[in-house]
Amino acid sequence: MSIARVFIKNFRLFREIDLDLNKENLLILGPNGSGKTSVLEAINLLISRKSIKTRDLKECINDDSEGFSLGLEIINKQEVLTIKAAKQANKRITIKTEAGNTTVKKENLPIVQFIQAKDLRMIEGEAELRRDFFNKTMFHVEHSSEIDYKNYKKALSQRNISLKRKVSEGELRVWNEALIDTGNILAEKQKSFFKGIFKKSLEEKGKKVETEDIFLNQINVVFKKGWPDHISLKRALVESTEKDRALGYTSVGPHRLDLKYFINNKLAKSFLSRGQQKLLIILNFFKFNDILVTKNKSGIVYLIDDITSELDQQNLAMVLEQATELKAQLLITAIRGKSLSNMTPFLDKFRQLNL
């Protein structure tokens, strides 16, 4: 399954573009502020139903208009699937996904792997970035885990409301019970996904890694479950009650999981340069391609924003080579002119959009 056409109207700086992709990979080139990220944002919004930059989709409406509309045409074997989104300033967004006249379910849409600027801080930045990457990958591989996650988040939000309302011990205990039940189920899934798939995939030796990039073959990733080792979730919640009441939210549990990356027993965040971190993070996304393809029949689309930044010639070439070998469609942006010469051997694998 792949994207054949993209249509954008009155979204961010665009008045109207209609792009015939013909199922090919897309390379979007342009200077700063020309709308490269906005094109990826629009495609991501159509498939995953979320904006990457804002919660308020009103901000995406072009300043000179009343509403935006977006469209994607996806070809799956002989079937054409369309996703259409429309948003007026004072109305909720509507998103319709259809094949012929029948509505298509979420699991029949391609999986989006969006690699954006903030992901490049995944190793050195806030835990939320690592947690998001881990949980989303888990949802795409163990589909039922997303429901366990939602159940847990519901219980979590109820406990947090109770903490803020400063309810009695007795009432808080009721919410603790719900949190412990759903939390243990989720934590078990996270632990077994980490052990069974995540760690193995990330630590797998790269096929095409040069000897100079030996650090890529020395990764060790460690799982932190979100509360102190060797105690139960129940005990962790009891022990943190006073602190949580003061904070007004729950400070322990599987929603606080984290990953630590080591290279040769040294913490990767202090050991690796920025370019090396970017390389490692992009290749980490790629390492899950095979398993995602096996677990999802509807295909994978990689949206890679600003691919050239931070990478030297050799590493950019390595990333591009590995990207073009993925079983997936690629939509990549780059600043025109910059380092493009390194992309030349790969350019014929892309349809180009010059903004």
Ligand X SMILES: Nc1ncnc2c1ncn2[C@@H]1O[C@H](COP(=O)(O)OP(=O)(O)OP(=O)(O)O)[C@@H](O)[C@H]1O
Tell whether residue 35 is a contact of ligand X (CB under 6 A): yes
Strand 67-76 to strand 258-263: parallel, antiparallel, or no bridges (unpaired)? unpaired
State the minimum distance, in angstroms, from the CB of residue 6 to Mg ion.
Answer: 17
Site for ligand X, residues 281 to 310, rule: CB under 6 A: 306
State the minimum distance, in angstroms, from the CB of residue 65 to ligand X.
Answer: 8
Tell whether residue 56 is a contact of ligand X (CB under 6 A): no
Q: Which stretch binds ligand X (CB under 6 A): 61-69, 107-115, 178-186, 288-296?
A: 61-69
Tell whether residue 33 is a contact of ligand X (CB under 6 A): yes
Strand 300-304 to strand 329-335: parallel, antiparallel, or no bridges (unpaired)? parallel
Q: How many residues bind ligand X (CB under 6 A)?
A: 17
Residue with smaller CB distance to Mg ion, 236 or 353? 353
State the minimum distance, in angstroms, from the CB of residue 288 to ligand X.
Answer: 25
Residue 62 site contact among ligand X, Mg ion, none (CB < 5 to 8 Å, cut-off depends on kind): ligand X
Residue with smaller CB distance to Mg ion, 34 or 69? 34
Extract the tokens encoding 302. 């990689």
State the minimum distance, in angstroms, from the CB of residue 255 to Mg ion.
Answer: 30
> Would you tell me how many other CB atoms lie within 10 Å of the CB of residue 101?
5
Cα–Cα dist 180/183, whole Å: 5
Nearest 10 degrees: CA dihedral of 175, 181, 185, 191? 70
List beta partners, residue 301. Answer: 112, 329
Burial of 54 (0-12, 13-18, 19+ CB in 10 A): exposed
End-to-end CA gap in the chain: 26
Asked if residues 335 and 311 have their Cβ atoms less than 8 Å apart, the reply is no
Q: Using CB under 5 A as the criterion, which residues of the chain lie in contact with Mg ion when the complex forms?
A: 36-37
Tell whether residue 37 is a contact of ligand X (CB under 6 A): yes
Tell whether residue 62 is a contact of ligand X (CB under 6 A): yes
The single-letter DSSP state of residue 105 is P
Asked if residues 318 and 279 have their Cβ atoms less than 8 Å apart, the reply is yes
Tell whether residue 36 is a contact of ligand X (CB under 6 A): yes
State the minimum distance, in angstroms, from the CB of residue 333 to ligand X.
Answer: 6
Strand 329-335 to strand 25-30: parallel, antiparallel, or no bridges (unpaired)? parallel
Tell whether residue 32 is a contact of ligand X (CB under 6 A): yes
Q: Which residue is nearest to Mg ion (CB)?
A: 37
Residue with smaller CB distance to ligand X, 57 or 318? 57
State the minimum distance, in angstroms, from the CB of residue 307 to ligand X.
Answer: 12
Tell whether residue 12 is a contact of ligand X (CB under 6 A): yes
- For ligand X, the binding residue among 75, 293, 335, 340 (CB under 6 A) is 335
Helix, strand, coil abundance in the chain, percent, nearest 5: 45, 25, 30
Residue 101 site contact among ligand X, Mg ion, none (CB < 5 to 8 Å, cut-off depends on kind): none
Tell whether residue 209 is a contact of ligand X (CB under 6 A): no
State the minimum distance, in angstroms, from the CB of residue 75 to Mg ion.
Answer: 28
Tell whether residue 38 is a contact of ligand X (CB under 6 A): yes
For residue 87, give the H/E element and its range.
strand 79-88
What is 3-27 written as a DSSP string? Answer: EEEEEEESBTT-SEEEEE-TT-EEE
- Residues 243, 247, 248, 254: is their CA dihedral positive or negative? negative
The site for ligand X (CB under 6 A) is made up of 12-13, 30, 32-38, 59-63, 306, 335
